[in-house]
């Protein structure tokens, strides 16, 4: 059986509003998007995030610890990734979603960023904030629709 790591397309870095560096792993396959952080034995590192493309809702069924979920506009028109909403310290057995229709967005234009609990607040990630992608290759990569 393949590991989740083989389903991740890329690992890139971004700068948060607080100036912290954040390593993003992008889940683009159906399997990687479905699994997310389920099955992990421990909470993710504070400087690491899992970006789930085409995702406007997240469930915590089966999770063992709380995480921060940040919904972003994806793919970004440039290297600036806009934060649409943040759900800090989402506990196990809960749901979170962003009201994308209210924002005038389609499902394929929203992604969920899963982070260690407390990371979103520490990094200054809230609605209206933005991440700066450090690698121009993000915008060069074709987006699968």
Q: Is residue 145 part of a domain?
A: no
CATH number for the domain spanning 130: value is 2.60.120.1140
Give the per-residue pLDDT at 1: 42
- The secondary structure of the chain, three-state, reads CCCHHHHEEEEEEEECCCCCEEEEEEECCHHHHHHCCCCCCCCCCCCEEEEECCCCEEECCCCCCCEEEEEEECCCCCCEEEEEEEEEEECCCCEEECCCCCCCCCHHHEEEEEEECCHHHHHCCCCCCEEEECCCHHHHCCCCC
Residue range of the domain that includes 92: 4-140
Give the per-residue pLDDT at 144: 42
The span from the CA of 103 to the CA of 128, in Å, is: 12
The model's pTM is 0.83
The low-confidence residues of the chain, meaning pLDDT below 70, are 1-9, 38-45, 135-145
Give the per-residue pLDDT at 136: 56
pLDDT tens track for 23-61: 888 887 777 777 777 666 656 667 888 898 889 999 898
The span from the CA of 128 to the CA of 119, in Å, is: 17
Q: Is residue 80 part of a domain?
A: yes
Domain count, the chain: 1
Give the per-residue pLDDT at 103: 87
Give the per-residue pLDDT at 53: 87
């Amino acid at each position: 059986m393949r590991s989740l790591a083989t389903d991740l397309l890329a690992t890139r870095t971004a700068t948060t509003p607080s100036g912290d560096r954040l390593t993003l792993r992008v889940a683009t396959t159906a399997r990687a998007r479905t699994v997310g952080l389920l099955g992990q034995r421990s909470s993710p590192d504070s400087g690491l995030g899992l970006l789930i493309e085409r995702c406007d809702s997240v469930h915590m069924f089966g999770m063992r610890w709380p995480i921060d979920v940040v919904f972003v506009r994806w793919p970004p028109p440039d290297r600036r990734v806009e934060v649409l909403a943040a759900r800090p310290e989402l506990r196990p057995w809960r749901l979170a979603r962003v009201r994308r229709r209210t924002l005038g967005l389609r499902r394929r234009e929203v992604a969920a960023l899963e982070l260690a609990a407390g990371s979103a607040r520490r990094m200054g990630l809230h609605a209206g904030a933005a991440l700066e992608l450090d690698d121009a290759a993000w915008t060069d990569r074709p987006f699968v629709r």
